[in-house]
Amino acid sequence: ELHMYDSYGDGWTGASWSGLGQERLAVVSGSEEKKSFVVPFASPSPPPLAPSPPPSPPQLPPPPLPPLVPGEALARTPQDIRDEINMAVDQGRNASVYVPPGARLAFSSNVACSGTMHLSVRSSGEGAMLDGKKSSNMFYISSGCSLYLEALHFVDGCGEYGGAVDVFGAGDIAMKDVSFTGCEASEYGGGMFVESSGDVSLEGASFSECTASDAGGGVYVSNSGDVSLDGARFSECTAGDDGGGMRVYNSGDVSLEGASFSECTAGDLLEEVWSWSTAATSRWRGPASASARPRLWGGGMYVENSGDV
């Protein structure tokens, strides 16, 4: 109810008031009037909004890279490795490359190193991936170049000789904590092929599901120096001929300290290590004459005409 009253006594006849959805409430006569009306229902206020979540903490910067060895170049692509090799050749020095942990380098062609230099390619921690995409191997090492690899993971390499690493007429080849997975060769050495080179050291290396149509499903070494397999592991590697995991021919001493072979096959042989040699110091021997040998030897490893095993 609205009570309109002329408190000044000067007359309010005909005056009007509007509001609250009611229009023109007029005083008909006199100085006082009452009107009743209905106030439209007001919908309740919406509930208060939930408080906003606290802002996310600022993103922490990535951890810094380990300090590079003096003279070491940072590489994030295969071309970075090539550039370092070319610069080392121009400056008459060795080439040294660091690949950040977690990086993935995709190869469409291999990186070549030749001449009497030493090439070091390493990562650290979780390591870096080098991917051949089933179209290329990753390194071709020749003409006296020596190679050191560390904390690298070779995957899906493909080549005629050496699915990931092809070595011919090179210096020493050494690696530490390097893995080869799913690499294949149409001839020899599914993971790595080494011919007419120096010593070969595979400390803590692993070869998994690597294949060679001929010999050496994981590794093939021929006419080279001593071979060391300190803690190396071969699993599910396959060769069409000899040495499902590894084949060593006409080379130096072969050390198997802590090495293991699991489910590797050569033809139809599974998980065997054979050594056949004219050397009197060989621990494992096959038949006395080559003609008496089985057609396929060494599902795990086959060593022929080499030094001590």
pLDDT at 53 over 70: yes
Instruction: Specify whether 29 is located in the same domain as 160.
Output: no
Q: Which long-range contacts (CB under 8 A, 24 or more apart) does 1-10 make?
A: 1/34, 1/35, 1/36, 1/37, 2/34, 2/35, 2/36, 2/37, 3/32, 3/33, 3/34, 4/32, 4/33, 4/34, 4/35, 5/31, 5/32, 6/30, 6/31, 6/32
**In this structure, is residue 174 part of a structural domain?**
yes
Among candidate residues 248, 300, 241, the one with its CA nearest the CA of residue 276: 248
Task: Kindly state whether residues 246 and 175 are assigned to the same domain.
Answer: yes
How many domains, the chain? 2
Q: Of 8-17, 163-172, 295-304, which one has max mean pLDDT?
A: 163-172
List the domain range (segments joined by +) for residue 213. 73-304
Predicted pLDDT at 173: 99
The dihedral formed by the CA atoms of 70, 74, 75 and 76, expressed in degrees to the nearest 10:
160
Average pLDDT for 158-183:
99
- Per-chain mean pLDDT for the chain: 83
Does 129 lie in the same domain as 262?
Answer: yes
Look at residue 191 and tell me whether its pLDDT is greater than 90. yes
Lowest mean pLDDT, pick from 198-207, 254-263, 288-297: 288-297
Same domain membership, residue 236 and residue 146? yes
The CA-atom distances, in angstroms, between 160 and each of 66, 77, 299 are: 36, 23, 21
Q: In sequence order, which residues have a C-beta less than 8 Å from that of residue 5 and are 6 or more positions away?
A: 31, 32
User: pLDDT tens digits, residue range 81-110?
Assistant: 999 999 999 999 999 999 999 999 999 999
Higher pLDDT, 207 or 25: 207
Model pLDDT, residue 52: 78
Mind listing the pLDDT tens digit for each residue in 118-167?
999 999 999 999 999 999 999 999 999 999 999 999 999 999 999 999 99
For residues 215-221, average pLDDT: 97
Domain co-membership, 117 together with 25: no
